[in-house]
Chain A
């Protein structure tokens, strides 16, 4: 009987140990380090195909503030030079690198404004767990309705007199944001796990700085065109130029 008890105890203990080991191994999180002589990636996102026209939104609401300027859909903005605006470029699977920069001026903190019944900017980057400022510059009721997949979902009213609120998101992901009252309003909150994220400007340009030298996978995501990747090598104190070519056919 003693042997039995001994064997059983041993068995149960080993089970517990296995269980503990299995549940403890958390996924590798991004670790900030001092980056000296880091490299830079600059690049441009180009569109291939027939240039899509900007679509003006037909605004039905009577609220004057929504008619202050013509509103265009920002789902696919391509410049005359065929460059793609609002593409999100990031380094995939980077585990160590520079720390997030805390903006000196609180005004420079990540902000999503509601102005002229348009979310501004169309795409905003925010570090996970850090506050995202929501502004209502319009003085009419807006609601910030988020459609996350990994985070808790929120639908928050911002009545006219409420000028500022903050929200936080714990898990990195791309979250679509809408307003139920003004249905053309759409934005994306990109919750980031590391600072190597950039959004292409109206000339399709982007830049990532202070990257520890090494080989990386660079990822671009566009809400209409989809997701693409390419390999890049970053050298110390050097600039690497990259071009992404996106087309509607390549979309998955």
Chain B
């Protein structure tokens, strides 16, 4: 693993300018300078170069405005040699694949398909619009999703983790760019710029939840919890939480999945009360499990403790 010496920001700042060059495909124009004779003043060369740059920038600008081009989306954040790339190859690629498509070499040994960062939503979120916050991803990387076979990575520094978060978000964004480009090529009402905007929106949450503690009046109430469970959960998780409520459930990509048996299955997102709160409130994107924006804070907490009781967990106080 290569050591990270320079800060991430440098990479980010470069992003826009580098991207323009990637699209235009022009070679650096300095080559022409040497071919010229010294008899002409060198300032003119500079002027010529500046004009060439201006013109090519102008045309690149036109390209992003015009109809959708099917050029593959490039990004310095994920290109070989970048910090993110090195960290990803060293820590994640074995399962998630070198290009993050969930097709790593270790995949065969796993019961759970590793996430395809380009084509799948992230599952464990604390938002109502199915998009993870950076903190959600940091948590997944640092602590792992043990029951989902993703190991914790305590050896990663905060900085490395943050770079990896940028990296997977960028893979996801580029995945959207590709998908949308395929979908809308030939659609005169859509431009490359529209696609860039939509793809950016798809990785930028607008509705993070605040994880509010129950009020001082809160008491766990088994009957209330059970009623809420019957109203909101049994359709899929079954009346006793055994995961037998839904016939042949599918994920968003149409693959068969299992509804969690809350009485015996390990909970992949984590079974502490805060994680349960997030799953119940925000749902699990990419699966049939919906968000529950209509429930009150108190109702979600009742469901958290009722679910804990189904798991055979002792009823804990609220503590971290």
Chain A interface residues (CB < 8 Å from chain B): 3-4, 7-8, 10-11, 14-15, 18-19, 21-23, 25, 27, 60, 93, 140-141, 143-145, 149-150, 152-162, 165, 171, 180-181
Binding stretch for chain A, among B56-64, B150-158, B160-168: B56-64
**In the complex, A23 Cα to B61 Cα: how many Å?**
8
Distance (Å) between the CB of B197 and the closest chain A CB?
9
State the 9 A-B residue pairs at the shortest beta-carbon distance, nearest first.
A11-B50, A180-B288, A22-B61, A157-B290, A143-B290, A162-B294, A159-B232, A155-B290, A159-B231
Check: B65 CB closer than 8 A to any chain A CB. yes
A157 touching B291, Cβ below 8 Å:
yes
Check: B293 CB closer than 8 A to any chain A CB. yes
**In the complex, A3 Cα to B46 Cα: how many Å?**
10
Q: B residues 129-183 with Cβ under 8 Å of A? A: 129-131, 180, 183
Distance (Å) between the CB of B121 and the closest chain A CB?
8
B291 touching A7, Cβ below 8 Å:
no
Contacts A22-B65, A155-B283 supplied; 10 other A-B pairs, CB < 8 Å: A3-B43, A8-B46, A11-B51, A18-B54, A22-B61, A141-B234, A149-B180, A156-B293, A157-B283, A165-B294
Binding stretch for chain A, among B80-88, B198-206, B265-273, B308-316: B198-206
Chain A contacts for B228, CB-based, 8 A: 159
How would residues 213 to 224 of chain B score, 1 for a CB under 8 Å from any chain A CB and 0 otherwise?
000000000000
Chain A contacts for B189, CB-based, 8 A: 93
Distance (Å) between the CB of B195 and the closest chain A CB?
9
Check: B13 CB closer than 8 A to any chain A CB. no
Check: B285 CB closer than 8 A to any chain A CB. yes
Distance (Å) between the CB of B65 and the closest chain A CB?
6
**In the complex, A11 Cα to B51 Cα: how many Å?**
7
A155 touching B285, Cβ below 8 Å:
yes
Neighbour of A25 across the interface among B65, B236, B283, B288, CB < 8 A: B65
B231 touching A160, Cβ below 8 Å:
yes
B291 touching A156, Cβ below 8 Å:
yes
Neighbour of A155 across the interface among B47, B50, B64, B130, CB < 8 A: B130
**In the complex, A66 Cα to B246 Cα: how many Å?**
15
7 contacts between A and B (CB under 8 A): A14-B50, A15-B53, A22-B64, A27-B194, A93-B189, A157-B294, A161-B231
Neighbour of A145 across the interface among B46, B53, B247, B290, CB < 8 A: B290
Chain B interface residues (CB < 8 Å from chain A): 43, 46-47, 50-51, 53-54, 57-58, 61-62, 64-65, 121, 128-131, 180, 183-184, 189, 191, 194, 198, 201-202, 206, 228, 231-236, 246-247, 249, 283, 285, 288-295
A165 touching B61, Cβ below 8 Å:
no
Nearest A residue to B49 via CB reads A11
When A11-B54, A19-B57, A180-B288 are in contact, do A157 and B46 touch as well, CB less than 8 Å?
no
Distance (Å) between the CB of A184 and the closest chain B CB?
12
**In the complex, A192 Cα to B95 Cα: how many Å?**
43
Neighbour of A181 across the interface among B53, B58, B206, B246, CB < 8 A: B246
Chain A contacts for B121, CB-based, 8 A: 153
**In the complex, A154 Cα to B285 Cα: how many Å?**
9
Chain B contacts for A22, CB-based, 8 A: 58, 61-62, 64-65
Chain B contacts for A15, CB-based, 8 A: 53-54, 57
Distance (Å) between the CB of B132 and the closest chain A CB?
13
Chain B contacts for A23, CB-based, 8 A: 61
A180 touching B249, Cβ below 8 Å:
yes
Neighbour of A18 across the interface among B57, B130, B206, CB < 8 A: B57
Chain B contacts for A150, CB-based, 8 A: 194, 198
**In the complex, A189 Cα to B41 Cα: how many Å?**
65
**In the complex, A117 Cα to B37 Cα: how many Å?**
81
A7 touching B43, Cβ below 8 Å:
yes
A4 touching B46, Cβ below 8 Å:
yes
A152 touching B201, Cβ below 8 Å:
yes
Distance (Å) between the CB of A119 and the closest chain B CB?
15
**In the complex, A14 Cα to B228 Cα: how many Å?**
63
Neighbour of B290 across the interface among A18, A25, A93, A156, CB < 8 A: A156
Nearest B residue to A182 via CB reads B235
Chain B contacts for A153, CB-based, 8 A: 121, 129-130, 285
When A18-B57, A157-B292 are in contact, do A7 and B47 touch as well, CB less than 8 Å?
yes
Nearest B residue to A150 via CB reads B198
A154 touching B294, Cβ below 8 Å:
no
B283 touching A19, Cβ below 8 Å:
no
Nearest B residue to A10 via CB reads B50
Most A CB within 10 A of own CB, among B54, B65, B184, B247: B54
When A152-B202, A152-B206 are in contact, do A158 and B54 touch as well, CB less than 8 Å?
no
**In the complex, A18 Cα to B235 Cα: how many Å?**
57
Distance (Å) between the CB of B68 and the closest chain A CB?
13
